[in-house]
Amino acid sequence: MSENSQFINLLDLNDHPVSWWNKLLELGHIIKKYPQNYAKACEGKIMGTLFYEPSTRTQMSFQTAMLRLGGTIIGFDNPATSSVAKGENIKDTTKIVSGYADIMVMRHPVEGSVKAAALTAECPVINAGDGGHLHPTQTLTDLFTLKEEKGTLENLTIGFCGDLKNGRTVHSLIKAMSCYKGSRFVLISTKELKIPNYIRDMLTASGIPFKEVTSLDDAIENLDVLYMTRIQRERFGSEEEYNAQKGCYILDREKMKKAREDMIVLHPLPRVDEIAVEVDSDKRAMYFEQAKYGMYIRMALILTILRGDGEAPRLIKGRERRHFTCSNPACITHREKYLPHLFEGSGDILICEYCDNRTLI
């Protein structure tokens, strides 16, 4: 394990400067316009995709992105058909696959798991979603969609609606859009599904305007973008808790009547019932385009990382604290016991380097 990986990993978008994101968005735009120019750009390269959790868009858009760049793919989309089913830990699986592949993409249900993988990987690692924590390539997809459809990433009022507690795409996009001038957020959720404290603290500390409301009807008319999210059944402690939340927010034709003509509706998908099918034919519904844009921006990302364009971010920013444990029960350090307990910060609050959870000491 090295403090400074030589690889350009993508674990958290905020590990990279905004100038790097902007270059990706520019390259994505060019690839979208002239895909044929990139058909052999990754010839001879292999991408490993390790999907420990179900996925349609992220997995397939990464795979098609690599294939459209002329590369090839290996991997699994069901850990039950790999040696994970025999009890192999993340460290060993990662070490092996990263010895076969030139770049590795991983999704895992536990927070901080992809960072854990990057600690021992022998190739660049991309986070394709780690539990309720982050989903940086969905964020790139969202930024790319906003840039392509709104023409700018500045001065946008974005409403996030639904499961803001467990929606990792929401957390990542709020963090990312906070880096662009003039962003304003309207956070629409029930009191049970509000954004985590660390996001609220970050917005407050940065002086970024935001409000937390419960009514989509009241909020919709002032938005440039409405980002709908699914209530994440798989992250609830019980069916009862999920049932109390499901169906709280449903975007339908009636609600869309109140929205501006130039508002766009995004959704990372999959949806359950939070956007009525009747909205799909509205020209402001952009979620299917958004999924396709994900392929172009992932082509730009793979190419950029394999070319080594950019600085390799520091892998470990703080230090190991052997006798201190992350207070987040969903953190990977509680599952994979060999992992060093890495924390940033000092004084009263320590920030877990895997899951970003803040623990008071």
Which pair of tokens denotes residue 215?
A: 């009514």
Is residue 63 part of the contact set for ligand CP (CB under 6 A)?
Answer: no
Report whether 303 contacts 42 (CB < 8 A): yes
Q: Which is nearer to ligand CP, 14 or 59 (CB)?
A: 59
Binding mask 266-285 for ligand CP (x = CB under 6 A): --xxx---------------
Residue type, 17: P
Which pair of tokens denotes residue 339?
A: 């992992």
Size of the site for ligand CP (CB under 6 A): 10
Name which of 326, 1, 267 is nearest 145 in CA terms.
Answer: 267
Q: Please report which helix (H) or strand (E) contains residue 212, including its range.
A: strand 210-213
Interface positions, 38-57, toward ligand CP (CB under 6 A): 55-57
Q: Which is nearer to ligand CP, 59 or 183 (CB)?
A: 59
Q: Which is nearer to ligand CP, 164 or 326 (CB)?
A: 164
Residues 6+ apart with CB under 8 A from 68: 35, 38, 39, 295, 299
CB of 230 to ligand CP, least distance (A): 9
Interface positions, 231-250, toward ligand CP (CB under 6 A): none
Interface positions, 124-153, toward ligand CP (CB under 6 A): 129, 138
Is residue 98 part of the contact set for ligand CP (CB under 6 A)?
Answer: no
SS3 at position 310: coil
What is the rounded CA–CA span in Å between residue 314 and residue 1? 12
* Alpha-carbon distances, residue 114 vs 43, 104, 109, 141, 295 (angstroms): 26, 10, 10, 19, 21
CB of 129 to ligand CP, least distance (A): 6
Q: Which is nearer to ligand CP, 77 or 353 (CB)?
A: 77
Residues of the shown chain interacting with ligand CP in the complex, contacts defined by CB under 6 A: 55-59, 129, 138, 268-270
